[in-house]
Amino acid sequence: MAVPSLPVLYLIAAVVGVLFTVNAFRPAHFPAAFTVPSFFAGWLTSELPIHHIVWQAVASAVFIALGALSDWPGWVALGLTLLSWVGLVQLARLASMSEEVTEQSLVEVLGSDYRSRIPAELMEAAQPGVDWRRLVLPFSMKDPEVEVTRNVVFHHDGKLKLKLDVYRNRAHPVGAPVLLYLHGGAWVFGDKREQGIPMMTYLASHGWLCVTANYRLAPRSPFPAQIIDAKRAIAWVKEHAAEYGGDPGFVAISGGSAGGHLAALAALTPNEPEWQPGFEDADTSVSAAVPFYGVYDFTNRDGLGHRGMRRFLERSVLKKKLNRDRDAFEAASPMYRVGPDAPPFFVVHGRNDTLVPVKQARLFVKLLRDASRSTVAYAEIPGAQHAFEIFKSIRTAHVVQAAERFLAVVRAGAHDRASR
C-alpha cells in the first residue's frame, strides 16, 4: 500500500480538524452509535477552542515547513484549516456569552438589583470575570489558596466504607457556607476526585467549605443505594461541617449528570424515611440545589429523554422493569417529586447536550416553577455539551461564578429570615 504524500496527510489532518469544529456546533444525536463519540469530540472542542487553534497552528507549521504546500491538496488543507479557525473563534465567542446568559437567568428570577442583597464581604468575590492565566492549563486543578482533606470516612458498617473529600480555604474561615457536590458517571462509574473540582476550588478560594462524596455504584448496588448514600453524606456534613469551619445551617447541594439527578432528588426528598435506613431521624434537608445537566425523569413520560436510557436504567441502575414497577421509576425521578416546599434551585444545562437532551431540563424547570414556592433559576448555556464544567474553561468560569452569586443571595435571604 502506497504511503500518502505529505500534502495528502496534511489534508487528512485538516479534514479531521474541520469535522471536530463542525461537530461542536451541530453534535450528532442520531444514530445512537454516534452519540457518545460526538459528545467527546464536541465536548473537548467547544470547551477548548483556543487550544484547538494552537494545536492546528503547530501542526500546520510543521506540515508547511516539510513542504506540504508543494501540491494542491496542501493548499486545500490550509484553506480548511483557516476555515476551522474561524469556527473555533466563534466557539470561543459563544462560550463567552455564558456570562450574559447566566446573568440574565438570575436577573429574571431575583430582580435586577439582586447584587445589592449579596453581603459586602461576599460581593467582591462574586464579581464576574475570567482569570485567563488559569485557563492555559485547563486540567490543572490545584489552587494555592485551597487545601484538601481526602478520604474522610463518612459511613462505615463493617462491609461498606464510604469516603469524602473536604475543600477549604487555607485561611480556615469560620461559619463558611457549605456545598456538597456529587459526581456523575451514569450511576455506574465515577469518583469524587474526577468532577466538580473547578467549582469547588473556586468556591473554597472564596471562603466556602466544599465537600465531595463517593456513593455506591450500580449494577453491584442498584438504586436506591446511590440516593441513600447521598443522604448519608448530607447528614454527615450537617453533623461535622463545623469541625472544618463550615456553617451546618447553610448546606447547598450540587452535582453533574447522574450527580445532578441525585442532587435534585435529594433536595426534593428531605428526611425521606425509606431512603434513610438506620438514620431516619437525621436532617437531610438542604438550603439550595444547583444541578448541572441532570437526568430528571426515569420514565421518559414525555419522550424528551435519551432513547436508550430506559433500557440502561432497567438493566444496570434499578435492575427493574418500568412496565412492572413504574412506581420505583417515578419515585427516582425528580420530575415526580416537585412540590411547594422545594428549596431554591438553579438548574444549569447545555443547549448542545447529546447525552441528556436539554428539553428534559426545560420541562423539569417548568414543573418546578409551577409547584414550588421558592426561587427557580434556569440557565441554558449556548454551545455547551454534557459535562462542560468538569475542567477549567471560559464557559466553566462564567457558570461557576453565576452559581456563587445565586447561592450568596439565597444565603443572605436565609440569614434575613433567621434574624427576624
Peptide bond into 219 cis (omega under 30): yes
Other CB atoms within 10 A of residue 368 CB: 24
Residue 377 bridge partners (DSSP): 346
Angle at 314 between CA 332 and CA 347, to 5 degrees: 40
**CB-CB contact of 78 with 69 (8 Å):** yes
Domain ranges for the chain:
6-95, 97-419
Q: What are the catalytic residues? A: 257, 353, 386
The top-level CATH class assigned to 97-419 is alpha beta
CA distance 376 to 109: 7
pLDDT for the residue 26: 84
Other CB atoms within 10 A of residue 112 CB: 9
**CB-CB contact of 63 with 6 (8 Å):** yes
Q: How many CA atoms lie within 13 A of 133 on its CB side?
A: 1
pLDDT for the residue 214: 98
As given in the structure block, the three cell numbers for residue 18 are 474541520
H or E element: which one contains 393? none
pLDDT for the residue 420: 42
CA distance 152 to 9: 52
Tens-level pLDDT at each residue, the chain (420 residues)? 555 799 999 999 999 999 999 988 888 766 666 777 888 788 788 889 999 999 999 999 999 999 999 999 999 999 999 999 999 999 999 999 999 999 999 999 999 999 988 877 666 655 556 666 677 778 788 889 999 999 999 999 888 899 999 999 999 999 999 999 999 999 999 999 999 999 999 999 999 999 999 999 999 999 999 999 999 999 999 999 999 999 999 999 999 999 999 999 999 999 999 999 999 999 999 999 999 999 999 999 888 777 789 999 999 999 999 999 999 999 999 999 999 999 999 999 999 998 999 999 999 999 999 999 999 999 999 999 999 999 999 999 999 999 999 999 999 986 555 444
DSSP 392: -
Other CB atoms within 10 A of residue 44 CB: 17
Query: How would DSSP label each residue in 310-368?
Result: HHHIIIIIS-S-TTT-HHHHHHT-GGGG--TTPPPEEEEEETT-SSS-HHHHHHHHHHH
As given in the structure block, the three cell numbers for residue 363 are 420541562
Sequence-distant (6+) residues with CB within 8 A of 213 are 154, 162, 163, 164, 165, 180, 181, 182, 192, 229, 230, 233, 236
pLDDT for the residue 190: 96
